[in-house]
Structure 1
Amino acid sequence: MTPVSMPDILEHLQRLGMSGYEAKAYVALVAAGRPVNGYEVAKRSGVPRSTVYETLGKLVARGAAYEVRGAADATDYLPLPPAALLDRMRREFDGSVAVLQTALPAVVAAPEGHLIHNLKDGEAMLARAEDVIAGARRDLFLSIWPQELRRLDARVREAAGRGAEVSVMSFGKVAEAPGGDLPGSVHEHRYSAPEAVLQDLGYRLIVVVGDRREAVVGGFGTDGSAWGVYTADPAVALMAAEYVRQDIALQILAERVGAAELDRLFATDPGLLRLLGRGRA
Structure 2
Amino acid sequence: MLQRFGFTQYESQVYESLITVDQPLDATSIVKGSGVPRSKVYEVIHRMVEKGMILETTVEKKRLYTALPLESTIKKLTADFNTKVRQLRNTQIKETPKDDRVWTLKDNQSIQSLLVSLLEQAKGSIFISGWADDLTSYLPILEAKYNAKVDVQIHVIGEISTPIPTVSTLIPDNSHDTLERSRILIVDGQEILFAGMEETAWQAVRTQSRPLVKFFTEFFYHDVALTEITQKFKDTIMKDEEIRDVLLKLRY
Amino acid paired to 1:116: V
Q: What's the counterpart of residue 189 of structure 1?
A: 170
Q: What's the counterpart of residue 26 of structure 1?
A: 15
| CA displacement at 1:56 relative to structure 2 | 1.2
Q: Does 2:115 match 1:133? A: yes
Contact persistence 1:143–1:244 (CA under 8 A): no
Matches within 5 A, 1:1-281: 10=1, 13-70=2-59, 72-106=60-94, 110-111=96-97, 113-119=99-105, 124-135=106-117, 136-137=119-120, 138=122, 139=126, 141-144=128-131, 149=134, 156=138, 159=141, 163-164=144-145, 169-171=155-157, 189-190=170-171, 193=173, 196=176, 198=178, 204-209=180-185, 211-212=187-188, 214-220=191-197, 224=199, 228-233=203-208, 235=210, 236-237=212-213, 239-240=215-216, 243-244=219-220, 246-248=222-224, 250-252=226-228, 254-255=230-231, 257-261=232-236, 263=237, 277-279=247-249
Q: What's the counterpart of residue 270 of structure 1?
A: none
Alignment length (residue pairs) = 234
Distance 2:214 2:225 in 1: 16
Cα displacement string for residues 37-93 of structure 1 (whole angstroms, at most 9, x for unaligned residues):
2222222222222211211111110111111224x3211112122222222222232
Contact persistence 2:55–2:65 (CA under 8 A): yes
| CA displacement at 1:169 relative to structure 2 | 4.5
Residues 97 and 220 of structure 1: is their aligned pair in 2 closer, same or farther, counting only changes over 3 Å? closer
Counterpart secondary structure, 2:7: coil
Where in structure 1 are there 5+ consecutive unaligned residues? Answer: 1-9, 175-180, 268-272
Q: What's the counterpart of residue 149 of structure 2?
A: none
| CA displacement at 1:111 relative to structure 2 | 4.7
Cα displacement string for residues 144-179 of structure 1 (whole angstroms, at most 9, x for unaligned residues):
486xx4xx865x367458x355866455x57xxxxx
| CA displacement at 1:21 relative to structure 2 | 1.2
More displaced stretch, 24-33 vs 53-62: 24-33
Residues 18 and 118 of structure 1: is their aligned pair in 2 closer, same or farther, counting only changes over 3 Å? same
Cα displacement string for residues 253-277 of structure 1 (whole angstroms, at most 9, x for unaligned residues):
544x34125x39xx8xxxxx7xx75
Residues 92 and 247 of structure 1: is their aligned pair in 2 closer, same or farther, counting only changes over 3 Å? same
Distance 1:29 1:226 in 2: 39
Counterpart secondary structure, 1:204: coil
Contact persistence 2:186–2:193 (CA under 8 A): no
Question: Identity over the aligned pairs, expressed in percent?
Answer: 18
Residues 197 and 20 of structure 1: is their aligned pair in 2 closer, same or farther, counting only changes over 3 Å? same
| CA displacement at 1:105 relative to structure 2 | 0.5
TM-score between both structures, scaled by the size of structure 2:
0.70
Amino acid paired to 2:180: R
Cα displacement string for residues 175-205 of structure 1 (whole angstroms, at most 9, x for unaligned residues):
xxxxxx7767676633x6575451xxxx725
Amino acid paired to 1:35: P
Distance 1:182 1:21 in 2: 51
Contact persistence 1:209–1:241 (CA under 8 A): no
Residues 60 and 15 of structure 1: is their aligned pair in 2 closer, same or farther, counting only changes over 3 Å? same
TM-score between both structures, scaled by the size of structure 1:
0.64
Counterpart secondary structure, 1:32: coil
Counterpart secondary structure, 2:41: helix
Q: Which of the pair is proportionally richer in helix? A: 1
